[in-house]
Amino acid sequence: MNLPHDSAIKHVTGESVYINDIPADERLLLGKVVYSPHAHARILRIDYEEALKVKGVHAILTARDIPGENQMGPVIHDEPCLAEEEVTFIGQAVALIAAENEDAAQQAASFVKVEYQPLEAILDLETAMEKNTRIEVERKIERGDADAVLSHAPHVIRGKLRTGAQEHWYLETQSALAVSGEGREMMIHASSQNPAETQAVVAEVLGIPKNEVEVEVRRMGGGFGGKETQGNHVAAWAALLANATKCPVKIHLFRDDDQVMTGKRHRFLSKYEIGFDDNGLILAYKVELNADAGAAADLSLAILSRAMLHAENAYYIPDILIRGNAWKTNHPSNTAFRGFGGPQGMAVIENAIDRIARFLKKDAAEIRLLNFYRNDHNNLAPYGQEVKNNHLHMMYDKLIGSSEYFKRREEIVRFNREHEFYKKGLALTPVKFGISFTTAFLNQAGALVNLYTDGTVLVNHGGTEMGQGLHTKILRIAAAELGVGTGQVRVNATNTSKVPNTSATAASSGSDLNGMAVKNAIDILKSRLAEVSVAEFKKKTKDDRSRKENILFHNNVVSDKENPDRTIAFPDLLKIAYLKQVSLSSTGFYKTPGISFDKEKGQGTPFYYYAFGMAVSEVVIDTLTGMHRLLRTDIVHDVGDSLNEGIDRGQVEGGFIQGVGWCTTEEMKWDSTGHQITHSPDTYKIPTVNDIPADFRVEILKDVPNPGTIRQSKAVGEPPFMLSFSVWLAIKDAISAVGNHETEPDFTLPATYEVILLSSEKLKKRIG
């Protein structure tokens, strides 16, 4: 079960090849992007005559040099590949340079003169709302009459919550290598979560058909959503330069440029009203989610949709109104990031419940328990889908026990009484996360499985490897389905010529979709091979007692279940099949059954199933400095029947810590003109080894098979991210202790040292 990552040995020896490591011939040119320094401006003139004279410069391109369509918007075509008359964010590509070396490219870039006429820029959500820059229309999900219930509810709490942007900080910045071939052919080595879309965008900008563009992705040095659409951009730019120069062109963005040019997790500004009774039972919830889309639509509407579909998280709320809007601003177009809006939607309800608990002077964990979805009743989500096989109560019991929640709560109360300046906090938070692309047609996948006559297997599928271990899972699925050793199977680089028309590796769906497609291909091959073995047994035994449906593939041997003495070694069977002119290669296909969602009505069954998780975290804050320490985290997480426990654990721990970063130290700041002032790791702080819990206990739930998925497993990429709310709200609990839990502290996300300190100071003043 615990097969290490299929590239692990290459990773630790430094052999793993990323885009920037691909050996290219001596004609290789480096691509450089000249980008806008203005958040919003008219381009009056571009003069690159001097730049062209720099020794080693081969080409400089602007919008008018694009042979095809000047577009790279993935859903809505509102994103030019190179700016034409106007720039709408800082970091927008205006010109491209291909040069023989970095120094020449750098020098040429400094000689490209672009004259701008600055225009008024919209840099925050409030202004965007005031100027009504909404993308499409407001979306709604509604059940019952939230307004009516709120007007009669015993208690109502109203508020606003801001959640911050987050930089992906994949270790490998955006990169692509474009190699032009014969005629119009273009080969792209991409760092993209969506090679099929990279292919489409490259074909469009070059004005050539898709069958002339091949995109290959060996691996990414991290993606996290940041390369779902925005990996296409560097690929398109590199392709334009390669097409113009007929030389291979590589673009590997410098870290600061990557941080300036690419989109982030969407900032949200949310407003809510929640009504509840004396016990803390939620009666009604009204929430308005506002997303900062940035300068283009990108995936913003799908992200907003997922935020709305997770607005109630793990809680049954009878009367509910969820409204959602995405607003354009003059920032780089915000994009997919692990959780895809889910975290932004869920943060609001989790914070609201925390407020209910403080208001009622109850423990927040108990309020959560009271409101969890149930299995027999109160199990319909606001959009009408039944929440099935819900593990919330079981997980709660388990975690409350294993974390000794209530005992530690008492200890914390004592600690806080005894310490004036250090305060501890504790919080339990749940995650219910819907699995499937919310755009229903994307829930499809393809595969191509080749068997070779030496008994080895080559698997191609549409999913991409970004570190999450998808290929390792697929490898094990293929080996198990074929009954061969994992050493006999290899998973190929993802290639659009092998498996076409695929969806992005996103929405945590990689193994669900591609695993099934691979199984489908293997089922087809096994059926052919079963026929061959039946014929072979018949030839040997001269009887026809062996039947196709009884043929088993196990331990590298093919046998007859009913006649166990009849066996053929798997490699031998392949040789026989080959001699009998039977095809040893098959494609496979899968589409998720039974999902649909009506965006206009806000109703349907958008998810194939839900993944569940729960966490308890304890922190200590220093109210004199605002600094905190994460003392302990206990996690229970549901992955169905794990496809690979080591890899799943890695996703849970890694996702959680990434979430902790978003909730605590990862603060994105801009100046008044829209320039990011946190554009490098010097000032943008992702977690280090010292930011993980001092005591970190992760339990992967056992014996919870998930019916209807590949080997009864569950998706695991995104859900653990939101377990980090336990840390966020533990910090709030600790701040709240400064005011003896009598006053609602000022709070936001991320809860930086600044938030902790200033909020604590305010409470200190209140209590005198």
56 is a contact residue toward other proteins (CB under 8 A): no
Identify which range of 535-543, 550-558, 569-577, 625-633 contacts other proteins by CB under 8 A. Answer: 625-633
Q: List the interface residues with other proteins, window 92-111 (CB under 8 A).
A: 101, 106
Q: Cβ–Cβ contacts within 10 Å for residue 37, how many?
A: 18
Instruction: Tell which positions 462-491 bind other proteins, by CB under 8 A.
Output: 466-469
Residues 217-246 that bind other proteins (CB under 8 A): 219-224
For other proteins, the closer of residues 256 and 572 by Cβ is 256
Angle in degrees, CA 362, 363, 364, rounded to 5: 110
To the nearest whole angstrom, how small is the minimum distance from the Cβ of residue 20 to other proteins?
A: 8
Q: Which of 298, 312, 667, 733 binds other proteins (CB under 8 A)?
A: 667
Smallest separation (angstroms) from other proteins to the CB of 31: 16
Kindly indicate which of the ranges 75-83, 207-215, 357-365, 689-697 contains the residues binding other proteins, using the contact rule CB under 8 A: 689-697
Largest CA distance in the chain: 97
x-or-dash string of contact with other proteins, 159-198, rule CB under 8 A: ---------xxxxx--------------------------
Distance CA 156, CA 307 (A): 23
Distance (Å, whole) CA 94 – CA 83: 5
Nearest approach, Cβ of residue 169 and other proteins (Å):
5
User: How big is the site for other proteins, counted in residues (CB under 8 A)?
Assistant: 78
Q: With binding defined as CB under 8 A, does residue 493 bind other proteins? A: no
Q: Which segment (129-137, 577-585, 606-614, 677-685) binds other proteins by CB under 8 A?
A: 677-685
225 or 382: CB nearest other proteins:
225
Tokens representing 604 are 């349907």
- Smallest distance from the beta carbon of 234 to other proteins, in angstroms? 16
Check: CB of residue 521 under 8 Å from CB of residue 587: yes
Q: How many helices (H) and strands (E) does the chain have?
A: 19, 29
Instruction: Specify the stretch interacting with other proteins by CB under 8 A; choose among 82-90, 138-146, 377-385, 753-761.
Output: 753-761
Burial environment of residue 49 by CB neighbours within 10 A (0 to 12, 13 to 18, 19 or more): exposed
> Any contact of residue 55 with other proteins (CB under 8 A)?
no
Cβ atoms 340, 507 nearer than 8 A: yes
Smallest CA-to-CA distance from 27 within 251, 246, 253 is with 246
Question: Footprint of other proteins on residues 280-309 (CB under 8 A)?
Answer: none
Stretch that binds other proteins, among 313-321, 329-337, 499-507, 686-694 (CB under 8 A): 686-694
- Phi, psi values for residue 146, rounded to 5°: -60, -40
The 3-state secondary structure of 208-266 reads CCHHHEEEEECCCCCCCCCCCCCHHHHHHHHHHHHHHHCCCEEEECCHHHHHHHCCCEC
The single-letter code of the amino acid at 177 is L
553 belongs to the binding site for other proteins (CB under 8 A): no
Site residues for other proteins, 317-336, by CB under 8 A, read: none
Write out the binding residues for other proteins, residues 29-48 only, by CB under 8 A: none
Stretch that binds other proteins, among 363-371, 532-540, 584-592, 685-693 (CB under 8 A): 685-693
Q: Which amino acid is at 46?
A: I
| Helical spans, DSSP H, in 58-163 | 102-111, 125-130, 146-152
Single out the residue of 439, 678, 712, 743 in contact with other proteins (rule: CB under 8 A): 678
Of the candidates 104, 116, 120, which has an alpha carbon nearest to the alpha carbon of residue 46? 116
CA distance 586 to 602: 39
Query: What's 138's DSSP letter?
Result: -
Distance of CA 609 to the CA centre of its chain: 17
Residue 47's H or E segment, with its range, is: strand 41-47
Q: Does 754 bind other proteins (CB under 8 A)?
A: yes
Q: Using the rule CB under 8 A, is 418 a contact of other proteins?
A: no
Question: Of the listed pieces 19-27, 239-247, 404-412, 700-708, which binds other proteins according to CB under 8 A?
Answer: 19-27
Least distance from other proteins to the Cβ atom of residue 110, Å: 9
- The yes or no reply on residue 699 touching other proteins (CB under 8 A) is no
Q: Rg (Cα) of the chain, in Å, rounded?
A: 28
Could you say whether residue 730 binds other proteins (CB under 8 A)? no
Position 406 contacts other proteins (CB under 8 A): no
> Is there binding between residue 653 and other proteins (CB under 8 A)?
yes
**Cα–Cα nearest to 461, from 515, 507, 504, 508:** 515
Task: Report in angstroms how near the CB of residue 683 gets to other proteins at its nearest.
Answer: 4
Distance CA 709, CA 705 (A): 9
Closest CB to other proteins among 171 and 569?
171
Q: Work out which of 1, 44, 627, 767 binds other proteins, going by CB under 8 A.
A: 627
Shortest distance, position 291 Cβ to other proteins, whole Å: 23
Least spacing, CB of residue 80 vs other proteins, in Å: 27
Nearer to other proteins by C-beta: 342 or 693?
693
Select the residue interacting with other proteins from 685, 699, 741, 746 (CB under 8 A).
685
Active site annotation includes 718:
yes
Catalytic residue among 100, 600, 718, 754: 718
Q: Please, which residues have CB within 8 angstroms of residue 477's CB and are 6 or more apart in sequence?
A: 511, 515, 518, 519, 643, 710, 711
Judged by beta carbon, residue 165 or residue 451, the one nearer other proteins is 165
CB distance 421 to 757 below 8 Å: no
Active site residues: 718
